[in-house]
Every structure is written in C-alpha cells, then in structure tokens.
Amino acid sequence: MLIAPSVLSSDFSQLGNEVRRMDLCGADWIHLDVMDGHFVPNLTFGAPVIRAVRGFTEKPFDVHLMIDEPLRYVPDFLDAGADIITFHIESQSDTEKTLEAIRAGGAKPALSVKPGTPAQALFPYLDKLYMVLVMTVEPGFGGQSFMEDMMEKIRVLKARRPELLIQVDGGINPSTIRTAAQAGADVCVAGTSVFKAEDAAQAIRDLKAAAGQK
C-alpha cells in the first residue's frame, strides 16, 4: 500500500517544510488537492504554490484537480511539476482531450469519481488510465468520515482491469485503510491521520501495517 499524505491537512504557513517532513517520515507520494470554489465549495491553491514547493522533495507529486475546467489548466500543473494528474469524470472538460493533454505533457493520467457517480462511468477510459481515485468522502473538505459502501466501486474496477492502480481518499485511518486494502486499493490518501499525528513517521508505519504491509 502506498501512502500519499494530503497537504490539505498541513500547516499552510510552512508548506514547503511540511512537504519535506512527509518525505522524511516515509510518504510514498505527496498528494496536493486543488480546489476552485466552483466544482467543490472550497478554495485551496493552484499551480504557483505547487511549483513553489516542488523543490522540497523528489517524491512524486500526486495532484488532484477538483476544478470545473481541468483541461484549461493542465499545462500549468505540468509546468509546476505534477507527476500524476487526477481530474474528475464529473468536470466540464472533455475527458478524452484532458487525458491526452496529461499524457502528452509527460505526466500520468488519472480519473476520479465522486461518491454519487457509479464506477461504470469510468469503463470507457480504463485502458487509458494510470490510476482511478475513488472518493470515500464528498470532495471539498478534509476530516470527513469514510464511506465504506464505496468499496464496491474498487472491487468492480479491479475486476474490470486488475492492473489498474486504485486510490482512495477520505477518512483514512488504520481501521479504514484495512477495509480499503481488503477491497483492493493500492494507494491511500491520508490527511488528518498523518499531519495531525504526534509522530507522523509512526502514523505512516501504522497505516502500512494496518493495510497488511510490514
């Protein structure tokens, strides 16, 4: 199980240092949630902030675009140093064109689904994807409770394309990561449970252990 701490739960006044801290504490990826205040009812940060903290780690930058028009901004996030770009099937951009723009720019393309969207909506694109992000909370704010009924989406997607990476995001802790791992998840985004822990390195080790990884 890969652990991708979400900087949404970090101290924004120390963002570069927080990214470095997660690297040193054993994070596999760094998860960056971009919100535009339209697609979701919250605002976070954009490409300039990602570019500013890119130099604090060599770990992959896993950028989750919760925005209306991802295609319009793909070049900015590529230039900022994104390694993986995830956008929502529910966004207003053309899905095929957005996937192609990400691939053409040298990043790995991924699609995400909100809790209310069925896994089957992704089926036409699965052979073009590096990863699918299954939201286990409603996107927009951190600290929400894990929706266990989303695990069926993971099972459906893994059955359809076993080699596809499946990421889960929302309410991840040692109990829920075990549930996600048993369903077939490969990557877990963890925010509060890592950044707010007294010992972030131990929190990451505990998550991996709970997922069945020594």
User: Residue 62 sits in a domain of what CATH number?
Assistant: 3.20.20.70
Mean pLDDT score, 129-140: 91
- 33 in active site: yes
Nearest Cα to Cα of residue 190 among 23, 24, 29, 12: 29
Q: Looking at residue 121, what is its pLDDT?
A: 97
Where in the sequence is the domain holding 182, given as residue range(s)?
2-210
Given 28, 33, 62, 186, the catalytic residue:
33
**Which of 59-63, 130-134, 135-139 shows the lowest mean pLDDT across its residues?**
135-139
Residue 32 CA, chain-centre distance (Å), reads 7
Q: Looking at residue 214, what is its pLDDT?
A: 44
Q: What are phi and psi of 61, to 5 degrees?
A: -90, 115
pLDDT at 81 over 70: yes
Mean pLDDT over the full length of the chain: 95
User: How many CA atoms does the CB half-sphere of 106 hold within 13 Å?
Assistant: 10
- 169 in active site: yes
**Entry pTM:** 0.95
pLDDT at 141 over 80: no
Mean pLDDT score, 30-44: 94
Over the stretch 199-213, which tens digit does the pLDDT of each residue have? 999 999 999 999 996
Q: Number of folded domains in the chain?
A: 1
**Which of 59-63, 141-145, 193-197 shows the lowest mean pLDDT across its residues?**
141-145
Given 169, 186, 199, 206, the catalytic residue:
169
pLDDT at 62 over 50: yes
Q: Looking at residue 26, what is its pLDDT?
A: 98
Beta strands in the chain (DSSP E): 2-5, 30-35, 61-66, 84-88, 108-113, 131-135, 165-169, 187-190
Reading across the β-sheet that carries 61-66, which strands appear in turn? 2-5, 187-190, 165-169, 131-135, 108-113, 84-88, 61-66, 30-35
Mean pLDDT score, 133-156: 86
Over the stretch 153-191, which tens digit does the pLDDT of each residue have? 999 999 999 999 999 998 899 999 999 999 999 999 999
